[in-house]
Amino acid sequence: MFGGGHKKFRVKVTTGKAKGAGTNATINIKLIDHEGSVSESHVLDKWLHNDFEYGKIDSYTIYVEKNFGQCEHIILHRDEVGLNDSWYVEHVTVEHETEADAHFPLSRWLPANTEMQFKKFDSQLPQVVKKEHPEVYQQRQNELDQKKKDFAYAPIANKEGMPRTVTSLPPEETFHRNYIFDLLETKFTGVISQYLKKMRYEDEFASFDDMYKVYYGPLSPFTVPAGHSGWRTDEKFARLRLTGPNCTVIRGVKKDGGLPTNFPVDKDNLAKHFMEGQSFQQAQDADRLFYIDFKDLDGYIAKSSGKPMVAPLALFYARMDGTLIPLAIQLFQKNADNNPIFYPPPIDDEKVWCHAKFWFGVADSNYHEPVTHLLQTHLVAGDFITCFHHMISPSHPVYKLMLPHFIYLLNINTDGMPVLTAEDGAFNKILTFGLDNCYDLMYKKYQTFKLSDAYLSTDLSNRGVENLPNYHYMEDVKPMFKAIEDYITASLKTIYGGKDQVLKDDFEMQNFAKLLCDKTEGMRGVWGDGAFTKLDDLSKTLSTMVFILSNVHAAANFNQYDEYGYPPNLPFRLDGAPPTDKSPVTEDYLVKLFDVNVTLATMDLGRTLSMQGTNKIGNYETHYEYKPDVLKHYLSFIEALKKVGADNDEKNAKRSNPYPWLSPKVVPNSISI
């Protein structure tokens, strides 16, 4: 049998890293060549070897007839023999010493007692499969029917109008074991912080410097966060609005035609002290005035205090040297005698001004966590991915394109959200706002959310920040978005032959669009509004989603410890009540605003949420697409990211305050924390 009358192939099989991926079942394979000849069935088994274990690669030598051609298809079969017979197959490679390797990136559970046929690269549009291989098309449909069951969904918190998510987590969406270890290690060291208060403090801090004790000592899991430096300065306060976790809410006064009428700042006094010889109107016309309005927080009662939640407005000025400074803060929406507008020295006292800045920070952080971070990245992406899995086959080329950017999102949304949303989670334990308020605010914001508004150029234009100096978020995200969009656009052009009609005929993609934009429970503002009839619409949709999963989340998440880790820099909660006048306050009063327990919990939360454990963008955990004409676009994407990374290093070397969070060396492929 092993002489010159047979042709030898080596079959390499990669078992995936899904929960329960390994199998004890018997696996058989058949090869089909380019002329349709089918080999005999071969059992893939090695003597005294535990085949098909979690994450392992197994190699087998098989022999077929001498005149067998190049391998174009394979047929896989498994039985139900033995315990743990289910099997998640990641990849099969068929190798021959004189022929090109045949790759079969499969990434799926293999059903029992069913012969499953796969074409080389396993990457075809559904209309092509239906026309050319109706029996394989039926196999594809059966898989999708099962996926609809596996990815059954409901709205978040079972609240109609919220984004959808899976009701139970499919095992292929679970964290890999090494990532779980990293999470557990972080959780364990976080437990240590619960004992630090007993070891180092009585009931309160003695000074702001006293807080630094928590970072030192042999048991401390904390390092001194970068955000502590200069925390009390106006320059740092303003810079948080440009490069902090909530850096996408600032707006241009000129773009909006002036400040809101309920924010009547003293224009003449501000011009006199801060505007470098300009009048207020001149500064506005020169696009040097910017503001933030947390009106969405108005009307809520803060859970931690039982008092009205601050819903502040703040005005900022971009100086001639490019430095942004704050000019005014009003802590509630209705201007009144008991809701004054606070100003920096020399207009108001420094401690009075610092007190107002603290409370503005509370609003910023309490808006950031539920809206900017959780809703507008995690939950929006979760809705998109859930719908995608319902309607797009693992054999679809767009599935191969997008799947690397979906990794772990559903898992972190399912198992990680309780860190924030459990009754004893951060929304209740740390935020002043409270869990019920967070859910209500997320619901309201999702009613007005439009995916098209998250498209980068639209977002920057809508907010009127194109001329905002030292806006490192904007500076760094532009080339990242371009690299992503160029990659997605080029890949789609190849997949669909550059023809809108081919996209229109792709019924899986059309079914996805319809579900995604469902008029009752769907996402708003998706290009095409329920039907992808133009390649440009699909490109913008997919590019924006990859951008959200990678860059938008990175900007909102990974610097949380640096900025929240020293709470006076950006507090989640303060004791006492917001000021209703400009009465003097003491340094001791300001220090006592910070509760020791909340401070330590804040540090622990920031450290956990800032953890990074997955591959950086473009360095995929698993490669799904091997077609040469699409693969070349991926290789161009990698080169583009290298250039972006080098340019980012060069920019940061020149910046007085580097911003590393949107470098390809930091940004991951997807959301995993």
**pLDDT for res 418:** 83
Q: What is the rounded distance in angstroms from the CA atom of residue 594 to the CA atom of residue 461? A: 38
Q: State the first-to-last Cα distance of the chain, in angstroms, to the nearest integer.
A: 54
* pLDDT tens, position by position, 263-304: 999 999 999 999 999 999 999 999 999 999 999 999 999 999
pLDDT > 90? residue 606: no
Please tell me the predicted confidence (pLDDT) of residue 83: 77
Q: What is the CATH number of domain 6-122?
A: 2.60.60.20
CATH superfamily of the 153-167+374-415+442-556+615-654 domain: Lipoxygenase-1; Domain 5 (1.20.245.10)
Mean pLDDT of 89-107: 97
Distances from the Cα of 235 to the Cαs of 319, 327, 451, in angstroms? 11, 11, 33
The helix (run of H) or strand (run of E) holding residue 324 is strand 324-330
Domain ranges of the chain: 6-122, 153-167+374-415+442-556+615-654, 190-370+558-609
CA distance 504 to 533: 5
**Residue 277 burial (10 A CB sphere; 0-12, 13-18, 19+):** exposed
* CA pair distance 473, 241, nearest whole angstrom: 10
9-18, 97-106, 198-207, 357-366, range with the lowest pLDDT: 198-207
Report the 3 state secondary structure along 478-528.
HHHHHHHHHHHHHHHHHHCCCCHHHHHCCHHHHHHHHHHCCCCCCCCCCCC
What is the CATH code for 190-370+558-609?
3.10.450.60
Are 53 and 126 in contact, with CB atoms under 8 Å apart?
Answer: no
Tens digits of residue pLDDT in 19-72:
899 999 999 999 999 999 999 999 999 988 999 999 999 999 999 999 999 999
Residue 632 has pLDDT above 90, yes or no: yes
Burial 82-108 (b: 16+ CB within 10 A, else e): eeeebbbbbbbbbbeeeeeebbbbbbb
Please state the pTM of the whole predicted model: 0.95
pLDDT in tens, 431-473: 999 999 999 999 999 999 999 999 999 999 999 999 999 999 9
Quote the pLDDT of residue 604: 82
